[in-house]
Every structure is written in structure tokens, then in C-alpha cells.
């Protein structure tokens, strides 16, 4: 079996008295698209945010390419360059144009020279189909375009894995397709991805594995056919019934 | 004596115009270095406050609150007449510069801090998730947005504080007002004060207009 790129082991997270994650074990292998579903409040986003230590787990390990990055003393900035993240609300920098948004980390974190960073950023924008919007500021872009810039920003660093936190939830329905198309293309290019989303159709079509979370734990996981076609647990059955309704 | 003779006596104006002009340079020079030093110090304090060290932040907050609460004239008089008692002999220009710089810094710190806190958590997270450090995120992502938001109030506050250079006249700073009041007492005529008022308008009106322009211009486009 191939070594997992990303592995969560015994991951727990509490906010005060409230335990949000009650022990998560998850392995994501290279090139895999792991799709996380579950009711709101089930801990999906918290789990995702623990993967790049935006939330520090209360206990447990986050292994990236075989190294526990949740251990104390690990310098997080270089680690985070290996983990791209795409947010529900895009979080583009409003004072920079699309090219500036994508190239900032290339210049300041990877320390690439300005010209090389611009070149790589332009290539990333090209891949998400926004080459001609490079000089537009976020306010001049549609929601779908903004999210594609955000994907380009994460992708340009050539991460080992990309995390998507409800990437289409803030979008008007007619703009969802263009973002999913970019994600589909990323997957075809072999990017390892962990996606938290409610886009069940995309999960059916693109996910290698679907993970169902409820109340801070992974309840059930399997291929899309297994999860959607033959759900075993009553909680998953109830969740899917609510989604269909 | 009619109005024009009391306020716009040509002979008096002519005689004292050079000394008031020399006061213009003093006011201009002091204002410029106070704005630069006060804004810079305020920005540095706001950045330090963003680091979130509780004890340090407490000191900054106490500093900002006290300096914003005290009438500037009180501080100027205390510094000018009190410090020699402990062996610190500062010129009146230096006292005015230091006191007004510290006051502007207190206001600027609060304005920049408000700007920094107005930048959403998502901006910090996006930046940190791409491997930028805390200082890099502050400098490249948060400050450009926060400072921009603070520019209109900061311009207004800078005008208010630099106008206070006129308070220097009570400790002998040879600024516009000091030159004018001296000329007024020698000539027994208020025309030098009129000239001083005109000089202040000429100096500060452009900045008032700049502040007005910034306020309309920086209504930030957001999505």
C-alpha cells in the first residue's frame, strides 16, 4: 500500500468544554480525492482546518508525508506551503489584483524573484481560465472567478495536498459549475484533495472516497457507490434522505 | 479707528510680514516632522499591539488613553517647566516636537489599531495558509487594507495636532502665532494676527481639502 500523503491519527479538538472532534483517523493517499460530507456542526470544517493547523488539535497527530506536523516545535510556515487551502468565502486580498493575490506567497514565502513569481502566477491563472483577468481586483470579479483565483493562489505553490472548505457554498448556483470544473481538472492532473462540500453530484462523479462525518467522528466511509448506493448506518441513511428531500 | 485699520493696516502688515513669514517656516517644519514621527510611532505601536502580548498591550492602551485625555497645553507646560527640575533641559522647539509627536502617536495608534482589527480573520487565515508568517501577513496583507481605512481619520487628526503647534507660542517657540502676538504688542494693532490667520489658512486648507477628498475616495469597494 502506498504511503499516505496526509494522515490524521486519533485527532481530537475541543473548544472549551465542547468536544468538536472526538477522535478522527483518516489516511489520504497520493492523487486521491477524499470527499467529506455530513450535517452542519459535524466537525467537517474543523477537521479540515486541523490539517494545516489553522486549528491546533487538542490531541492526536497530523502526519504530512510521514511527519507529524502537529508536534510542538514544528515550523508551520514551510509546512503550510505544502498544504493548499481554499475557503468558503474565497478570502482574496482586496487590495491586490488577481496576479498579486496568486504571486504574493510565491514572492514572500517561497522567495521567488518577482519576474519568476509573476510567470508562475500567470500560469496558475491560465490553468483556472482567468489569464485575461490577471489585472482585475477581486471586487471586479464574479464570485466564481474569485474562487478560481483562490484555487490558483493555493495551487501555484505546488502543494502536496489541497484542502477545500465548502468551496461552492457561497456561490450563486449558476457559478458553481465553473469552480467544480477547475476542481475536476485538478483531480485529473493528479492533485491530492480533501473536499468538504454539499455538492453530492460532484461527489458521486469525482470522489475516490466519500467520508461521512457526524458528531465529531467518521461514521462511515467508502466509494461513492457504497456511500450513496448502499449506506449502512442509520445516521447516513437519514442524512442522505434529508439531502434528497 | 475703522475695521480695515484695526485688522488690515497696510503699514503694520508690511513691517511685520517678514517675521510672520519666518514663523510660517517654523510652523511648517515642526508640523512636518511631527506628522512623520507621530504617524510612524503610532503605526509601530499598533503593530506591536497586534502581536497580542497582554502586558505590553496594557502599557500601550494606558499610554494612548492618557495622552488622548490630557489637554496638550498641560503636557507642554509640564514638560517645559517641569523637566529642567530633574536636569532635562530641552529647547522649546524640542519640547513642542516631542509632546505633539507623542499625542499624535496616541491617536494614530488607535486609528491604525482600528484599521488592523477591521481586517477580517479570513484574510489572516488565507495568508497564513500559503506559508506567510505573522509579520509578513501583517505587513503585506493586513496593513495595506487597515492603513487605507485609517487614512481619512488620520489626516483629520494630523491636521488637528499640527495646528496645536500654535500652543508653542506660550513657551517661546517662534512659530506663526508667536511672531504675530509679538508684532501685535509692538505695533498695538491686530493686523499681524490677521496675517497669522491667513497664513494658517494657507498652510492647512490644502490638507483639510485633502482629508475631504480622501473621505470620498476611500469609500472602499467591497464584494
Query: What are the structural domain ranges in chain A?
Result: 4-244
pLDDT of residue B217: 76
| Residue A4: DSSP 8-state | P
How many residues are there in chain B? Answer: 223
Answer yes or no: is pLDDT of B164 > 60.
Answer: yes
Q: What is the predicted pLDDT for the residue at A73?
A: 92
DSSP 8-state secondary structure symbol assigned to residue A138:
G
pLDDT of B71 higher than 80: yes
Contact: B129, A89; criterion CB under 8 Å = no
Residues in A touching B219 (Cβ below 8 Å)? none
State the Cα–Cα distance between residues A201 and A205, nearest whole angstrom: 6
C-alpha cell read off for A129: 481560465
* pTM (2 d.p.): 0.90
Chain B positions touching chain A (beta carbons under 8 Å): 120, 122-123, 125-133, 136, 140-141, 144-145, 148, 220-223
Place of cell 509692538: B186
Give the whole-angstrom CA distance, residue A238 versus residue B33: 69
Among B118, B120, B129, B142, most A C-beta atoms within 10 A, so best to mutate, is: B129
**What per-residue confidence (pLDDT) applies to B126?**
98
Closest CA to B162 of B204, B195, B197, B199: B204
* Best residue in A52, A54, A91, A112 for a mutation probing chain B (most B CBs within 10 Å): A91
Residue B214 pLDDT = 84
Q: Which CATH architecture has domain A4-244?
A: 3-Layer(aba) Sandwich (3.40)
Q: What angle do CA B124, B129, B134 make, to 5 degrees?
A: 50
**A112-to-A106, A121, A149 alpha-carbon distances in Å:** 6, 11, 19
Model confidence at B107: pLDDT above 90: yes
Q: Closest approach of chain A CAs to the CA of B155, in angstroms? A: 20
Rounded to 10°, the helix A173-188/A143-155 angle is 20
Query: How far is C-alpha A176 from the chain's CA centre?
Result: 16
- In chain A, which residues touch B (CB < 8 A)? 52, 54, 76-81, 83-85, 87, 89, 91-95, 104-105, 108-110, 138-139, 143, 146, 150, 153-154, 157
The partner residue sitting opposite B130, judged by closest CB among A89, A105, A138, is A105
A185-215 core/surface letters (b: 16 or more CB in 10 A; e: else)? ebbeeebbbbbbbebbebbbebbbbbbbbbe
3-state secondary structure of A21: strand
Neighbours of A242 (CB within 10 A): 9
Domain limits, chain B? 3-217
The verdict on a CB contact (< 8 Å) between B133 and A110 is no
pLDDT band, very low/low/confident/very high, at B216 (cuts 50, 70, 90) = confident
- Coil vs helix vs strand at A198: coil
CATH assignment of B3-217, among 3.30.420.40, 1.10.3720.10, 1.10.10.350, 2.60.40.10 = 1.10.3720.10
Q: Under an 8 A CB cutoff, do B128 and A80 touch?
A: yes
pLDDT of residue B219: 60
Kindly indicate the confidence band of residue B141, based on its pLDDT and cuts at 50, 70 and 90: very high
Burial class (CB in 10 A: 0-12, 13-18, 19+), B121: exposed
Chain A's closest residue to B131, CA to CA, is A77
Amino acid at each position: 500500500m502506498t504511503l499516505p500523503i496526509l494522515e490524521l491519527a486519533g485527532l481530537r479538538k475541543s473548544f472549551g468544554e465542547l468536544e468538536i472532534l472526538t477522535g478522527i483517523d483518516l489516511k489520504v493517499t497520493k492523487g486521491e480525492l477524499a470527499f467529506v460530507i455530513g450535517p452542519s456542526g459535524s466537525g467537517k470544517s474543523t477537521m479540515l482546518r486541523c490539517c494545516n493547523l489553522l486549528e491546533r488539535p487538542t490531541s492526536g497527530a497530523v502526519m504530512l508525508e510521514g511527519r507529524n506536523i502537529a508536534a510542538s516545535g514544528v515550523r508551520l510556515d514551510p509546512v503550510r506551503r505544502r498544504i493548499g487551502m481554499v475557503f468558503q468565502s474565497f478570502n482574496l486580498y482586496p487590495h491586490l489584483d488577481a496576479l498579486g493575490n496568486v504571486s504574493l506567497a510565491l514572492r514572500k514565502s517561497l522567495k521567488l524573484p518577482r519576474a519568476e513569481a509573476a510567470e508562475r502566477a500567470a500560469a496558475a491563472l491560465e490553468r483556472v481560465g482567468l489569464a485575461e483577468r490577471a489585472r482585475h481586483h477581486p471586487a471586479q470579479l464574479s464570485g466564481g472567478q474569485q474562487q478560481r483565483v483562490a484555487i490558483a493562489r493555493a495551487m501555484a505553490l505546488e502543494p502536496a495536498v489541497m484542502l477545500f472548505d465548502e468551496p461552492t457554498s457561497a456561490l450563486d448556483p449558476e457559478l458553481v459549475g465553473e469552480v467544480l470544473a477547475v476542481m475536476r481538472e485538478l483531480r485529473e492532473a493528479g492533485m491530492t484533495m480533501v473536499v468538504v462540500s454539499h455538492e453530492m453530484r460532484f461527489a458521486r462523479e469525482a470522489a475516490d472516497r466519500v467520508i461521512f462525518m457526524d458528531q465529531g467522528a467518521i461514521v462511515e466511509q467508502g466509494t461513492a457507490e457504497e456511500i450513496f448506493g448502499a449506506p449502512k448506518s442509520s445516521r447516513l441513511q437519514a442524512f442522505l434522505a434529508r439531502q434528497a428531500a | 479707528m475703522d475695521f480695515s485699520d484695526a485688522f488690515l493696516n497696510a503699514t503694520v502688515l508690511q513691517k511685520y510680514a517678514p517675521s510672520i513669514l519666518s514663523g510660517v517656516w517654523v510652523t511648517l517644519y515642526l508640523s512636518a516632522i511631527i506628522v512623520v514621527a507621530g504617524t510612524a510611532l503610532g503605526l509601530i505601536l499598533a503593530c506591536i499591539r497586534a502581536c497580542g502580548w497582554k502586558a505590553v498591550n496594557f502599557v500601550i492602551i494606558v499610554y494612548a488613553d492618557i495622552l488622548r485625555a490630557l489637554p496638550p497645553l498641560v503636557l507642554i507646560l509640564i514638560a517645559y517647566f517641569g523637566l529642567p527640575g530633574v536636569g532635562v533641559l530641552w529647547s522649546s522647539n524640542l519640547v513642542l516636537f516631542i509632546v505633539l509627536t507623542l499625542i499624535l502617536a496616541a491617536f494614530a495608534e488607535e486609528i491604525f489599531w482600528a484599521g488592523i482589527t477591521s481586517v477580517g480573520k479570513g484574510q489572516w487565515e488565507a495568508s497564513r495558509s500559503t506559508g506567510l508568517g505573522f509579520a509578513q501577513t501583517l505587513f503585506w496583507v493586513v496593513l495595506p487594507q487597515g492603513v487605507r481605512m485609517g487614512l481619512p481619520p488620520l489626516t483629520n487628526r494630523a491636521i488637528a495636532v499640527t495646528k496645536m503647534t500654535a500652543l508653542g507660542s506660550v513657551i517661546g517657540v517662534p512659530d506663526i502665532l508667536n511672531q504675530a502676538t509679538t508684532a501685535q504688542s509692538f505695533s498695538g494693532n491686530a493686523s499681524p494676527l490677521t496675517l497669522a490667520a491667513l497664513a494658517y489658512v494657507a498652510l492647512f486648507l490644502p490638507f483639510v481639502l485633502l482629508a475631504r477628498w480622501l473621505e470620498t475616495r476611500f469609500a472602499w469597494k467591497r464584494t
